[in-house]
Structure 1
Amino acid sequence: MKLLNLVVASLLALTVFGGASSFAADSISQMRNADILTEDTAPRMPKVVNSDERQVRNYPEQPPLIPHKIDGYQIDKRLNKCMTCHDRRAIEQSQAPMISITHFMNRDNQFLASVSPRRYFCTQCHVPQTEAKPLVENTFVDIDDVLKGETKK
């Protein structure tokens, strides 16, 4: 009897879960672009903007974008390549902007002599800009444009 129950439970599980997996695969394939799945090569990576010009920020607390390539930059617990130019002692020679004073504050807002460990890994917030087309439509409106529109009414 136990063997019969086991066989019935196994067949039931195969029927239910087998159908569910094919249903999930069908629904996922409908969400994907079918052309992408048949291509042999991946799309090319977009080029990194390497202008060394500061980018305009879209909102007040936005971290600045990195205006140059950072390929091969070592950023780990032993070395931070960004600091060779953006450190307080290096900016006169490099002419790069110094990192924000907030990067020297600990979580209790007390100033430290060196960069805070929580702000040491630059690429957690700062990213290079690429020459990529947007993947989705963007309807973002800058606050200055919003204010200009309100004053005209």
Structure 2
Amino acid sequence: MEIDMKKVIVTLMVTLMTLMFNGSAIAGVTSLRGDSDLTDGADKYPMRKQVISQGGVDRSYKIQPPMIPHKIDKEKINLKINTCMKCHSEKTYKQKKAPKAGDSHYVSRDGKVLDTVSSRRYFCNQCHAPQLNADPIVNNQFEGAK
């Protein structure tokens, strides 16, 4: 008895597709939001004001990226401009009395030292976040380094 591999593969593909699109394949699985629609409660948490923290924000763990102690709602970071670098670049940080972007931000993934911020560190708010006057949405027992 010779097995026709094309028929086996086609049969498996049809079976998998049927299972994927059949709701009974995932019966019993529920969303963390329950029966609520994705947009339900979107207005539950109003926009919070950014807080200015004089002297910076203490880090909670050793290699935590520094938090942003000032407002950034008027800053722009896109493919053409990064207004953070107006104050935090190698050339301007002293006159602006701002912390300089770390040396690691000027290194390419190949280890080459660059004159400008590396593209992988260009979007500052991927790691650095402003502070808000808000209670945490989810409570936890995390305690930072003392």
Q: TM-score, normalised by structure 2?
A: 0.69
Q: What is the aligned counterpart of 1:66 among 65, 68, 73?
A: 68
Q: Looking at secondary structure, tell me which structure has more helix per residue.
A: 1
Mapped partners of 1:30, 1:116: distance in 2: 38
- Deviation, 1:43, is 3.9
Q: What is the aligned counterpart of 1:53 among 52, 55, 80?
A: 55
**For 1:143, what is the secondary structure of its paired residue?**
coil
2:68 alignment partner AA? I
Q: What is the aligned counterpart of 2:144 among 136, 142, 145?
A: 142
For the 8 Å contact 2:106–2:114, the answer to whether it is kept is yes
Cα distance, 1:134–1:90 mapped onto 2, change above 3 Å: same
The corresponding residue for 1:92 is 94
Q: What is the aligned counterpart of 1:112 among 108, 114, 124?
A: 114
Q: Percent sequence identity over matched residues?
A: 39
1 or 2 for the larger relative contact order (CA 8 Å, sep ≥6)?
2
Cα distance, 1:136–1:90 mapped onto 2, change above 3 Å: same
Mapped partners of 1:30, 1:58: distance in 2: 29
- Deviation, 1:28, is 5.8
1:74 alignment partner AA? K
Cα distance, 1:95–1:42 mapped onto 2, change above 3 Å: same
Residue correspondence of structure 1 range 8-27 to structure 2 within 5 A: none
2:121 alignment partner AA? R
The corresponding residue for 2:17 is none
**For 1:115, what is the secondary structure of its paired residue?**
coil
Mapped partners of 1:94, 1:125: distance in 2: 22
Between Structure 1 and Structure 2, how many residues are aligned? 122
For the 8 Å contact 2:105–2:117, the answer to whether it is kept is yes
After TM superposition, what 4+ stretches of structure 1 lie above 6 angstroms from structure 2? Answer: none
Q: TM-score, normalised by structure 1?
A: 0.66
Give unpaired runs (5+ residues) of structure 2: 1-21
User: Which entry has the higher C-alpha Rg, 1 or 2?
Assistant: 1
